Amino acid sequence: MKVSARDADARVRTPDPAIKAYLIYGPDRGLAHERAGTLVKSILPDPDDPFALTLLTEEDLKSDPAALADAMVAMSLTGGQRLVRVRLSGETGGGPVADVISEIESGSLAPQTVLVVESGDLTPRGKLRKAFEPAKKALSIACYADDARSLGNLAEDLLKDEGLSIASDARMLWLPRLEGDRALARGEIDKLILYKGLRGQRAEGDDTVTLEDVEAIAADQGEAQMDAVIEPALLGRLAEADKAYVRSVSAGGSPVAILRALQRRLDQIGVVQGSGGDDAALARSGAPRFGPQADAFKRQVSLWRGRRLDHARQLAFQAERDVKRSGSPAEALVSELLIRLARGAAQASR
């Protein structure tokens, strides 16, 4: 069954026990990831219990197509509800998922385990949507970019939780900057809340987000915006990188500044590899060593090595030469470079 956009959040917050499989997909990967996480927490009393939750990737399904079916019939060692969460980038790995949905619908598989599949954008003719949408025991939830109204509601709810409100002029300036990806938007909202201070940390009466607060936060976002472009490009997430690039340039960001930041990142990757690739090498390069940023950087290091890294550096150098030529369109040249690198990373990760 397909779920309407209006009902999607309610469905993941209060799941129907009769539904045994969920497909949460769409171009807004941040929103898909957030809804999948909410659903897991709604179903499992302890989402961190390794005996209750099995995580599978498309690489797992490619190397062992039977892994999903085996996980679906496995019993929890501690008893209680089990859940299998599968993360895909698209249709790759969708065959085993479609087979499991067919078995659930026919009654040949009656698992106590719930299946949650998280994916990027999918076409209506693809095997995943064709398996989920007609099914009576499965739900398909599409995740598209938030509009100004839904972003406004999200921001106001999160601000309200910390006893904050936002002035109308600040709201008008700030909300358009959040459009694009739910994860990025939530990160910007959290950043603003931390800037103002959590409930009980602020001075008395300082409970309204002002235009000055929004502008102060915006002044510190240049590096974060560039990283939002560079990271997905070097990890092969083409659509995400392109969206972030357009968003950055539309907000006044410099294509040349993005190019220079990309060159610094490639040099940083080279330093890490040339120094042995261990934690000491990460420290010497100035790369992040902990948290999601460190994990993303390590994936970049694993993808860009040897001749591939050398070629990327050459492309970046050539792009800078072309940009410096009279009349060369910097925005288009940098965009083309990011596309080439994202495609290269996507091929390398297969």
What residues does each domain of the chain span?
Answer: 2-142, 148-218, 222-337
56: β partners: 86
* pLDDT value, residue 285: 67
141: β partners: 3, 24
To 5 degrees, how large is the angle CA 156–CA 157–CA 161? 115
DSSP string, 229-258: HHHHHHTT-HHHHHHHHHHHHHTT--HHHH
Q: What are phi and psi of 235, to 5 degrees?
A: -105, 5
| Reported CATH class of domain 2-142 | alpha beta
Task: Measure CA of the first residue to CA of the last residue in the chain; give whole Å.
Answer: 31
Q: What is the pLDDT along the chain (350 residues), one digit of tens a residue?
A: 888 878 888 999 999 999 999 999 988 777 888 899 999 999 998 888 888 899 998 888 988 989 999 999 887 666 678 999 999 888 887 899 999 999 999 888 766 799 999 998 898 889 999 999 999 999 999 988 766 677 788 888 889 989 999 998 888 888 877 765 676 677 778 888 888 888 887 888 889 999 888 877 765 455 667 888 999 999 999 999 998 888 888 777 788 888 888 988 998 888 887 777 777 777 666 676 666 777 888 899 999 988 899 899 999 988 888 887 755 688 889 999 999 999 999 998 87
As to burial, measured by CB atoms within 10 angstroms (0-12 exposed, 13-18 middle, 19+ buried), residue 253 is buried
CATH of 148-218, one of 1.10.8, 3.40.50, 2.60.40, 3.90.25: 1.10.8
294-310 pLDDT, tens per residue?
Answer: 788 889 999 998 889 98
* pLDDT value, residue 153: 81
Q: Which two tokens stand for residue 209?
A: 């987000």
The amino acid present at 107, given as its one-letter code, is: G
In the DSSP assignment, the letter for residue 120 is: S
- Residue position matching structure tokens 């599949």: 117
Contacts for 200 with CB less than 8 Å, ≥ 6 apart = none
* pLDDT value, residue 284: 66
* In contact, 334 and 258? CB cutoff 8 Å: yes
Helix/strand/coil for 85: strand
| pTM across the whole model | 0.54
90-121 pLDDT, tens per residue?
Answer: 888 789 999 999 999 988 876 679 999 999 88
CB neighbourhood size of 281 (10 A): 16
What is the gyration radius of the CA atoms in the chain, in angstroms? Answer: 22
Say yes or no: do domains 2-142 and 148-218 share a fold.
Answer: no
| Spatial distance between the Cα atoms of 206 and 200, rounded to a whole number of angstroms | 11
Q: Domain 222-337 carries which CATH code? A: 1.20.272
| Spatial distance between the Cα atoms of 225 and 262, rounded to a whole number of angstroms | 12
Helix/strand/coil for 208: strand
H or E stretch covering 5: none
* pLDDT value, residue 180: 59
| Spatial distance between the Cα atoms of 326 and 349, rounded to a whole number of angstroms | 37
* In contact, 222 and 258? CB cutoff 8 Å: no
